[in-house]
Amino acid sequence: MPGSSTPLAHPLRRPFGLPAWTVIVPLLGLVALTLGSGGLFSAIKLALLGAAIMAAVYHAEVLAHYLGEPFGTLVLALAVTVIEVSLIVSIMLSEGAGAQALARDTLIAAIMITVNGIMGLCLLAGGRRHHKQNFTRSGVSAGLAMLATLSVLTLILPNYTVSERGPFYTDAQLIFVAVVSLAVYATFVVAQTIRHREDFLHVDPAVKKAVTHAPVVRSQALAAGLSMVVTLVVVVLLAKKLSPVIESGVAAIGAPQALVGIIIAALVLAPEGFAALAAARRNAVQTSINLAIGSALASIGLTIPAVAVASLAMGLELELGLSMRSTVLLALTLLVATLTFAQGRTTFVQGVIHLVIFASYLFLTIFP
pLDDT in tens, 76-132: 667 777 777 777 776 666 655 556 788 888 889 989 999 999 999 999 999 988 888
Position 4 scores a pLDDT of 41
Higher-pLDDT residue of 157, 237: 157
Residues 281-300 have pLDDT tens digits of 888 898 889 888 988 898 88
| pLDDT at residue 268 in the model | 74
Element of type H or E holding 134: strand 133-134
Look at residue 228 in the predicted model and tell me its pLDDT.
Answer: 82
Contacts of 223 (CB under 8 A, 6+ apart): 15, 16, 17, 18
pLDDT digits (tens, 9 = 90+) for 232-286: 888 878 877 777 777 788 888 887 878 877 887 787 777 778 878 888 988 889 8
The C-alpha angle with vertex 288 and arms to 141 and 46, in degrees rounded to 5, equals 125
pLDDT band at 306 (very low <50, low <70, confident <90, very high): confident
Model pLDDT for residues 167-209, shown as the tens digit of each residue: 999 999 999 999 999 999 999 988 888 888 887 877 665 544 4
Instruction: Output DSSP code: residue 18.
Output: -
SS3 label, residue 168: strand
**Is a pLDDT exceeding 50 seen at residue 1?**
no
Which pLDDT value is given to residue 7? 44
What pLDDT is recorded for position 16? 63
Q: Confirm or reject CATH 1.20.1420.30 for domain 6-366, answering yes or no.
A: yes
Give the chain's mean pLDDT: 82
pLDDT for the residue 156: 95
Looking from the CA of 11 toward its CB, the CA atoms found within 13 Å total: 1
CA distances from 274 to 114, 266, 282 (A): 12, 12, 13
Q: Is the pLDDT of residue 333 over 80?
A: yes
pLDDT at 366 over 60: yes
Res 213: pLDDT: 55
Tell me the average pLDDT across 342-361. Answer: 93
What are the tens digits of pLDDT across the range 50-71? 888 888 878 877 887 787 766 7
What pLDDT does residue 315 have?
Answer: 80
The region that residue 68 occupies, defined by phi over 0 for left and psi between -120 and 50 for alpha, beta otherwise, is left
pLDDT for the residue 298: 86
- The region, left, alpha or beta by phi > 0 then psi within -120 to 50, assigned to residue 98 is left
Entry field: residues in the chain: 368
The model's pLDDT over 2-55, given as tens digits with 9 standing for 90+, comes to 444 444 444 444 556 788 888 899 899 999 888 877 778 888 888 898 888 888
- Say what the pTM is: 0.81
Distances in whole angstroms, Cα of residue 367 to Cα of each of 106, 108, 266, 307, 349: 18, 17, 19, 28, 27
State the pLDDT at residue 203: 64
Name the residue ranges covered by the structural domains of the chain: 6-366
Residue 306's nearest CA partner among 147, 162, 91 is: 91
Average pLDDT over every residue of 344-362: 94
Each residue's pLDDT tens digit, 221-232? 888 888 888 888
Q: Residue 323 has what pLDDT?
A: 92
Which pLDDT does position 88 carry in this prediction? 72
**Does residue 305 have a cis bond before it (omega within 30 degrees)?**
no
Torsion angle in degrees (nearest 10) through CA of 60, 61, 66, 69? 110
Q: What pLDDT is attached to residue 144?
A: 94
> Of 316, 263, 326, which Cα lies nearest the Cα of 99?
316
